[in-house]
């Protein structure tokens, strides 16, 4: 019991002094990250190419660089590769020399809140990211949120932040 109360006292101090990230109370932290999703041609930030033979899609520029460095290409293919000027000519080249069923994918990068992440302190969210970095991109970050219209959460967090633990008779009898 004493260890639990000590934990609450320490947690209370952390809640009172941590950065709020301009977020209204009751606040909690989650993990934010970015991912690439399909989009229209007008909104494309990058192109990927789907290679049916591999059953995978790859970011187009990286794919062309990797294939040039790591795949044995004929002199004809290497020479034709020099003529690539845009995404369409890149796809034409891939159709000719790699996979005739390849397809371009237009993508945009979007922010999202990672599922199953909820932390009472920013420090705990940062520690989670540090320990689990391999699940995220290099753009991963803590993300403060408000438990909007959640009166029980608001009350619980207010108790955690303001309760006078020395007022408990049990503690005074130690």
Choose the weakest-confidence range: 68-72, 102-106, 155-159.
68-72
Together in a domain, 104 and 44? yes
Same domain, 90 and 126: no
Is the pLDDT score of 174 beyond 60? no
Examine the domain organization and report whether 104 and 132 are in the same domain. no
Residue that finishes a domain, picked among 57, 75, 108 = 108
Tell me: do 65 and 96 sit in the same domain. yes
Q: Which has the closest alpha carbon to 57: 111, 104, 112?
A: 104
Give the domain-ending residue among 108, 139, 158: 108
Mean pLDDT of 159-170: 84
Domain range for 136 is 2-6+14-34+114-172
Among 108, 127, 157, give the residue marking a domain's end. 108
pLDDT at 78: 92
pLDDT tens figures, 21-56: 999 989 999 999 999 999 999 999 999 999 999 999
Q: How far apart are the C-alpha atoms of 130 and 16, rounded to whole Å?
A: 23
The whole-chain average pLDDT of the chain stands at: 93
Long-range contacts for 126-129 (Cβ within 8 Å, ≥24 apart)? 128/31, 129/31
Work out the pLDDT band at 152, boundaries 50, 70, 90.
very high
User: Given this model, what pLDDT does residue 170 score?
Assistant: 60
Q: Are residues 120 and 85 in the same domain?
A: no
Kindly state the tokens that stand for 169: 């008779």
Total number of residues shown for the chain: 174
- In a shared domain, residues 132 and 73: no
Same domain assignment for residues 21 and 63: no
Q: Give the pLDDT score at 165.
A: 84
Answer yes or no: do 80 and 118 share one domain: no
User: How confident is the model at residue 167, as a pLDDT?
Assistant: 82
Q: What is the tally of structural domains in the chain? A: 2
Rounded Cα distance, 122 and 125, in Å: 5
Q: Do 67 and 47 reside in the same domain of the chain?
A: yes
- Sheet with 56-59, side-by-side order of all strands: 56-59, 46-51, 103-113, 27-38, 141-146
* Residues 157, 121 share a domain: yes
Q: Which two tokens stand for residue 93?
A: 């080249």
Residue 3 confidence class, pLDDT cut points 50, 70, 90: confident
**pLDDT tens track for 87-146:** 999 999 999 999 999 999 999 999 999 999 999 999 999 999 999 999 999 999 999 999
Say yes or no: 44 and 98 in one domain: yes
């Amino acid at each position: 019991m004493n260890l639990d109360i000590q934990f609450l006292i320490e947690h209370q101090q952390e809640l009172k002094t941590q950065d709020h990230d301009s977020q209204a109370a009751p606040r909690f932290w989650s993990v934010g990250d970015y991912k690439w999703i399909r989009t229209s041609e007008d909104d494309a930030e990058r192109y990927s190419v789907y290679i049916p033979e591999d059953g995978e899609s790859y970011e187009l520029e990286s794919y062309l660089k990797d294939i040039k460095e790591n795949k044995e290409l004929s002199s004809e293919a290497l020479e034709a590769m020099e003529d690539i000027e845009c995404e369409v000519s890149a796809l034409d080249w891939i159709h000719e020399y790699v996979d005739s069923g390849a397809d371009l994918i237009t993508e945009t990068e979007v922010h999202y809140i990672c599922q199953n992440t909820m932390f009472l302190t920013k420090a705990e969210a940062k520690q989670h990211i540090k320990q689990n970095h391999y699940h995220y991109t290099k753009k991963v970050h803590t993300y403060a949120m408000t438990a909007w219209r959640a009166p029980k959460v608001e009350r619980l967090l207010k108790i955690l932040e303001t309760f006078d633990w020395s007022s408990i008779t049990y503690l005074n009898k130690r």
